[in-house]
Amino acid sequence: MSTSSVPRPEPAAPSGPVRGTRLPLAVRHRMPDGAPAALALFGAVRFAGILVVITADHLAGHPLTRSLAHSWDSRWYLHIAAHGYGRLIWISPAGAVQTDWAFFPLYPWLVRAALTVLPCTPGQAALTVAWTAAGVAAYGLYLIGHHLYGRTAATALVALWAVLPHSVELTIAYTESLFAALAVWSLYCVLKGRWLWAGSLAALAGLSRPTGFAVAAALGVAAALELLRRRGRVPFTLWAGALLAPLGWLGYVLWVGARTGDLFRGYFTVQSAWDSRFDFGAGAVRFLRMLFRYGGGVVYPVALTLVLTGLVLFGLLCLDRAPLVLVVFAGVLVLLVLGGSGSFSSKPRFLLPAFPLLIPPARALARTWRVRPARALLVGGALAVVSLLYGAYVIVVAHSPL
């Protein structure tokens, strides 16, 4: 007998007034149209980048995943994950004592957690965390683009982030993908008015990188603007989110200060040993002088070009009247890149999480797609080829700091 002919009991009527229940964020969320395709595109480009790096390692006679899991700072993160802090120092050629306290803890914590639940090596665990975070960040980018500008612009935003010249560093054992994921989702929560989520994610972002306070700064400005707009009549969650946001960054800085015996200046002394400090652009001026006098091969001129491009894109972002929270976040990162010391070859990497800079070109690419899709595909394909080849060059061939 067909079950369609069996009478079904009517649902019991509620005994009291019906009240809407607010489900958890993860349950309420529904993936918008176009997101799977955008994420597939991002995954395809970055997977191709991984294959190109592995091939370059093979041609160079290196272990196949050496450049992905054991490049530069990756070795410090893996050591922290395995042994904790205070176990590794390095004496630089200039005599500076460099310690592992310069590296923020969230990424090695997650690597250690992955090692406890997955049957893998430390390098594989580090890559698993980085790749997962990159995918989470790409999805958050799509949500922000879709929320503000629609499906086509959101897809273009994700695609452009995938083909940046230094996007290869989203898929190595570095912290950029983790910081980007936390920053993107925190800023998305600000745009949606979910202040407690935004502050919690901003606090985690502050535990992931020294530049993590950029998220707290953006959230603080957005909260202050909301206070002015609503004349102080704001929900408690706004106050809580704004207070939570800087706690991750501030907590680690003070912890390092306590370990060094100088609570407020200890962390910055540690960073100075790595030639990492805010010098108001003096280091950038010295770099330009040396570059024009002696040249810089391939990496350094490209790094200068990318930083100048980022500055131009920030101006376009301001003219585009993007939401203030995105402008402040990108502006703080651009300011730190321009005014910070350290190797200039690393500065394009520091701009990777500054995704709002890509909003103006993403909108332009979306407009091109609507009228001349072939031209948009040509531009995207060319950028992808450059990204894959240059990424492998930076990671495997060049000896400049990442």
DSSP state at residue 15: S
Distances (CA, A) of 115 to 58, 123, 153, 311: 27, 10, 38, 40
Instruction: Grade residue 30 by pLDDT with cuts at 50, 70 and 90.
Output: confident
Asked whether the predicted pLDDT for residue 137 surpasses 80, the reply is yes
The DSSP code sequence of 30-77 is -PPTTHHHHHHHHHHHHHHHHHHHHHHHHHTT--TTHHHHSSTHHHHH
> Cα 228 to chain center, whole Å?
30
- Count the Cβ atoms, other than its own, within 10 Å of residue 45: 20
- Count the Cβ atoms, other than its own, within 10 Å of residue 216: 26
Q: Residue written as tokens 């200046």?
A: 265
Residue 280: its pLDDT value, please? 85
- Mean pLDDT of the residues in the chain: 89
Residue 28: its pLDDT value, please? 53
Burial environment of residue 1 by CB neighbours within 10 A (0 to 12, 13 to 18, 19 or more): exposed
The DSSP code sequence of 91-105 is E-TT--EEEGGGS-S
* CA-based torsion, 77, 80, 82, 87: positive or negative: positive
**What number is the average pLDDT over the span 176-203?**
97
CB 214 within 8 A of CB 199: no
Closest CA to 76 of 53, 50, 98: 98
* CA-based torsion, 108, 162, 387, 322: positive or negative: negative
Residue 11: its pLDDT value, please? 41
Q: For residue range 276-316, what is the model confidence (pLDDT) as tens digits?
A: 888 888 888 888 888 888 777 888 899 999 999 999 999 99
> Cα 25 to chain center, whole Å?
22
Q: For residue range 78-121, what is the model confidence (pLDDT) as tens digits?
A: 999 999 998 888 877 777 788 999 999 999 999 999 999 999 99
Q: For residue range 340-384, what is the model confidence (pLDDT) as tens digits?
A: 888 888 899 999 999 999 999 999 999 999 999 999 999 999 999
For the chain, what's the residue count?
A: 402
Q: For residue range 212-237, what is the model confidence (pLDDT) as tens digits?
A: 999 999 999 999 999 999 888 889 99
Range with lowest mean pLDDT among 28-32, 122-126, 329-333, 344-348: 28-32
The identity of residue 340, as a single letter, is G
Structural Rg of the chain based on CA atoms: 23
CB 391 within 8 A of CB 168: yes
CB 106 within 8 A of CB 210: no
Which tokens hold the place of 259? 């370990």
> Cα 30 to chain center, whole Å?
23
255/86 Cα distance (integer angstroms): 12
Which tokens hold the place of 317? 């972002």
Half-sphere exposure of residue 158: CA atoms within 13 angstroms, side-chain side: 33
Q: For residue range 37-75, what is the model confidence (pLDDT) as tens digits?
A: 999 999 999 999 999 999 998 898 888 778 898 888 899
Range with lowest mean pLDDT among 184-193, 225-234, 330-339: 225-234
The identity of residue 279, as a single letter, is D
Instruction: Grade residue 13 by pLDDT with cuts at 50, 70 and 90.
Output: very low
The identity of residue 55, as a single letter, is T
